[in-house]
């Protein structure tokens, strides 16, 4: 689209220059006819005809010939100028919008520390028995609960499902495994009576804000990478599993948080050792995790092609 607009501007500019050139040539020709008609021997009737028109109706003659060309040329130049001014105006608006967005966005990032501190206080107050003091302890507690979950919840099949999970698994098996992870995470929240969902909602709404404001400019990833750099591996892992749980669903029951993470590669830099099971990456089929090897990436690509 942008290339097409540039080509149209260039075409109009060329047409305007051609019109200007023809107008100047005609003016020179008319002056030449007036001052040299006495010496013309060939094509005398052409010179006489032009000379007659110039003498009898000079104003109308010029208006009907050179004037039309100059008017057209002037109009084209004005139109080109207007389009350039409009382009500059749009660029100015774009810069203002970006500046306004960045001010709000970096304020949101600066407030992330406050949200994190509030989360740490909640964890410290509500998880006294585990002596958890921060979101990092909260992750460690989740990791511990993952190992205890099959026994505590009387679900011995849980380990079999997790161990059988791999990239080549059929979609129905992956969906079943994701349902098991959802039950696990929901059970963890209920068991410990400490839901830090407002932290995840803050992350979700920050990401959503970037997508809504910058989606049309195709630079969403640039800003989401800045957010991702603010998050520890423990936080990325907690976001990973929260989005798979029932807490990651919207009012329509859709896992919108997971969809956004999947689409915009938000979790791509997570360290594989922070996943409760390395093969859990298959839950996010749209993310090219940095820890995946070439074979695994090819397998994901082939699977997506097959599903299409």
CB atoms within 10 A of CB 247: 19
The sign of the dihedral angle between the CA atoms of 187, 193, 197, 200 is negative
- Cβ pair 113, 45 in contact under 8 A: no
Q: Check residue 128 and give its pLDDT.
A: 66
pLDDT in tens, 182-226: 999 999 999 988 889 999 999 999 999 999 999 988 899 999 999
173 has a pLDDT exceeding 80: yes
**pTM exceeds cut of 0.75:** no
Q: What is the mean pLDDT of the chain?
A: 81
Tell whether the model's pLDDT for residue 4 goes beyond 60: no
Q: Using CA atoms, how far apart are residues 39 and 130, in angstroms rounded to an integer?
A: 113
pLDDT > 70 in the chain, percent: 71
Asked whether the predicted pLDDT for residue 8 surpasses 80, the reply is: no
Mean pLDDT computed over 167-178 = 85
Domain ranges of the chain: 2-90, 127-307
Q: How many helices (H) and strands (E) does the chain have?
A: 12, 0
- Banded model confidence at residue 42, pLDDT cuts 50, 70, 90: very low
Is the pLDDT reported for residue 34 higher than 60?
A: no
56-67 tens-digit pLDDT: 555 555 555 656
- Span 145-149, average pLDDT: 94
pLDDT at 238 over 90: yes
pLDDT of residue 69: 63
Which of 94-103, 143-152, 167-176 comes out lowest in average pLDDT? 167-176
Mean pLDDT of 129-149: 88
Angstrom distance (rounded) from CA 43 to CA 236: 88
| Paired tokens of 21 | 């050139």
Taking the CA atoms of the chain, what radius of gyration do you get in angstroms? Answer: 35
- Please tell me the least confidently modeled range out of 51-55, 138-142, 169-173, 302-306: 51-55
pLDDT value for 41: 45
In this prediction, residue 57 carries a pLDDT of 55
C-alpha 240/C-alpha 75 separation (Å) is 60
């Amino acid at each position: 689209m942008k290339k097409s607009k540039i080509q149209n501007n260039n075409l109009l500019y060329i047409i305007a220059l051609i019109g200007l050139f023809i107008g100047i040539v005609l003016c020179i020709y008319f002056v030449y006819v007036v001052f040299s008609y006495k010496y013309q021997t060939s094509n005398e009737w052409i010179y006489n005809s032009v000379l007659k028109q110039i003498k009898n109706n000079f104003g109308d003659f010029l208006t009907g010939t050179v004037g039309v060309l100059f008017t057209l040329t002037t109009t084209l130049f004005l139109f080109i100028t207007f389009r350039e001014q409009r382009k500059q105006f749009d660029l100015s608006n774009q810069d203002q919008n970006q500046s306004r967005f960045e001010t709000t966005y970096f304020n949101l990032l600066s407030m992330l520390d406050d949200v994190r501190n509030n989360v740490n206080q909640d964890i410290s107050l509500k998880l006294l028995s585990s002596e958890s003091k921060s979101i990092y302890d909260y992750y460690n507690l989740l990791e511990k609960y993952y190992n205890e979950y099959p026994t505590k919840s009387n679900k011995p099949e849980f380990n079999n499902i997790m161990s059988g999970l791999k990239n080549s698994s059929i979609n129905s098996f992956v969906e079943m495994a994701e349902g098991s992870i959802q039950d696990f995470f929901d059970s963890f929240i209920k068991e410990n009576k400490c839901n830090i969902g407002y932290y995840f909602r803050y992350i979700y709404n920050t990401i959503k804000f970037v997508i809504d404001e910058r989606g049309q400019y195709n630079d969403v990833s640039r800003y989401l990478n800045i957010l991702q750099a603010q998050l520890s591996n423990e936080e990325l892992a907690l976001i990973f599993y929260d989005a798979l749980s029932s807490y990651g669903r919207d009012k329509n029951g859709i896992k919108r948080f997971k969809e956004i993470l999947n689409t915009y590669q938000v979790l791509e830099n997570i360290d594989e050792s922070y996943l409760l099971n390395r093969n859990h990456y298959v839950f996010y089929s749209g993310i090219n995790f940095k820890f995946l090897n070439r074979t695994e990436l090819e397998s994901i690509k082939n699977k997506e092609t097959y599903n299409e």
